[in-house]
Structure 1
Amino acid sequence: MRVLVVEADEKAADALVGRLGRHGHEVDRVDSGRAALNAWEQADLVLLDLELPDLDGVEVCRDIRTRSSTPVITFTAADTALDRVLSLQAGADDCLVKPYCYRELLARINAVMRRTAAPPAADTVLRGRLRIDPRSRRVLLGERVVEVTRKEFDLLYLLASLPETVVSRRDLMAKVWAEDGTNSSRTVDTHVSTLRNKLGDGDWIVTVRGVGYRLGDGTDV
């Protein structure tokens, strides 16, 4: 696995890079937020310290998440809930407080990678011009790549995996947001609205009033 370490403290970065390398990972290291935004696309996992010399680490995390489902684990030296909450709200998959136990970090890395990995038996779904690939977690509409977040992908893939089936908001919440403890149907509606904007014209996601949603065929409404 290729890991990007974003850490301004050279001593801490060298120690972490060395340990990850000894566990068989390919590791790249950068020491600023701008460098991270130029390097994260090559990584399978980003380990991001929130204290960076140029950019707010929370904003770096948010920028990555809006463009990709690449797993992100953040680190904070502040032993308060605020940094952890902000980074999780920005899309981080986990957050550790420094100093942390390296074995705990490895355990959390393994947990995050299991949680975010596409199911090995999952198949690519084709629906007209829409192609949804769970292995690469890519969505294509014709030749255009549709940039989606992790939750948007999970939501779209679930609907696409159940053709002609109306999925209730409750079932969407249970299957897509189960680990987050989110229970507001407004969350589903917001993600559906964002997906519709990204997919463009056509009824790719059809509202069944009073029930939920189903995948459409892209025909103009």
Structure 2
Amino acid sequence: MPHQNILIVEDEKKIVELLRDYLQKAQYKTTFLERGDEVIASVRQNPPDLILLDIMLPGLDGMEVCREIRKFSTVPIIMITARIEEVDRLIGLELGADDYICKPFSPREVVARVKAVLRRVHAEPSGEKIKAGPFILDAKTHQVTIDGRELELTPSEFGLLKVLMTHPARVFSRNELLNLVQGYDFEGYDRTIDTHIKNLRKKIAQQLPNVEIISTVYGVGYKFLVP
């Protein structure tokens, strides 16, 4: 696979240089932008393999950039935030980000997160298509359809649904989903799984209203119900 391109959107030059150096050592290509209002046109013209997106940006903040990108692309997005409030991180995830990293951060941790997300996106497909009621999940094309209508999912949402659909009615704990989908652990991630599940439910409900597909087993985790 050719070297994957990481778009760094950050207005602090020292952080850009730090991320660039570590990512290039890990054999990634990098490009960078320092203004939020430059990102949308750039992503449309030259789609990157992954975006590292700071929240506090001149021109247009990262939250709004993420919202706009999700209107036309499922490119993986990792938010970078100096905000310590958990609600800010969860808002980014609700807008469609795949992950978040808080400043100050270890550049090695950033590289590890980038690798984990890209592994998930480009994982070798295994098995045949997964069919469950009106759902068909195709690992080769990374597509999910409901009664023939495509469900637009981010890489994290796709990974979660794949795990749940592979074992319908089995209850997965948040930690199990974290390890199976994200491939790493860190403090506070339980809420992140909850947010991805919330986004999945919203998207499914647009095509299957008033039908419970992903059920919460309180105190345990989540399971997929075949409609």
- Counterpart contact for 2:7–2:31, Cα < 8 Å: yes
What is the one-letter code of the residue matched to 1:73? I
Q: Residues 47-66 of structure 1 correspond to what in structure 2 (within 5 A)? A: 47-64=52-69
Tell me the equivalent position of 1:196. 204
- Counterpart contact for 1:151–1:176, Cα < 8 Å: no
Which structure has the larger Rg over C-alpha atoms?
1
Identity in percent = 25
Say which of 87, 90, 98 aligns to 2:89.
Answer: 87
- 1:62: how far off? 4.9
Say which of 126, 136, 144 aligns to 1:122.
Answer: 126
- Counterpart contact for 2:79–2:92, Cα < 8 Å: no
Say which of 210, 215, 219 aligns to 2:226.
Answer: 215
1:145 aligns with 2:150: yes
CA displacement 1:116-141 (0-9 Å, x = unmatched)? 45653533324576432335532234
What is the one-letter code of the residue matched to 1:56? D
Alignment RMSD? 4.4
- 1:53: how far off? 0.8
Closer, same or farther: CA 214–12 of 1 in aligned 2, 3 Å:
closer
Closer, same or farther: CA 43–213 of 1 in aligned 2, 3 Å:
same
* Equivalenced residues, count: 206
- 1:3: how far off? 0.7
Closer, same or farther: CA 25–49 of 1 in aligned 2, 3 Å:
same
SS in 1 for 2:126: coil
CA distance in 2, matches of 1:70, 1:23: 20
- Counterpart contact for 2:10–2:54, Cα < 8 Å: yes
SS in 2 for 1:81: coil
CA displacement 1:87-127 (0-9 Å, x = unmatched)? 354125131415x554443344334445x456535333245
Structure 2 unaligned residues grouped into runs of 5+: 180-184
- 1:25: how far off? 1.6
Per the normalisation by structure 1, the TM-score is 0.64
- Counterpart contact for 1:206–1:213, Cα < 8 Å: yes
What is the one-letter code of the residue matched to 2:78? I
Structure 1 unaligned residues grouped into runs of 5+: 217-221
Tell me the equivalent position of 2:33. 30
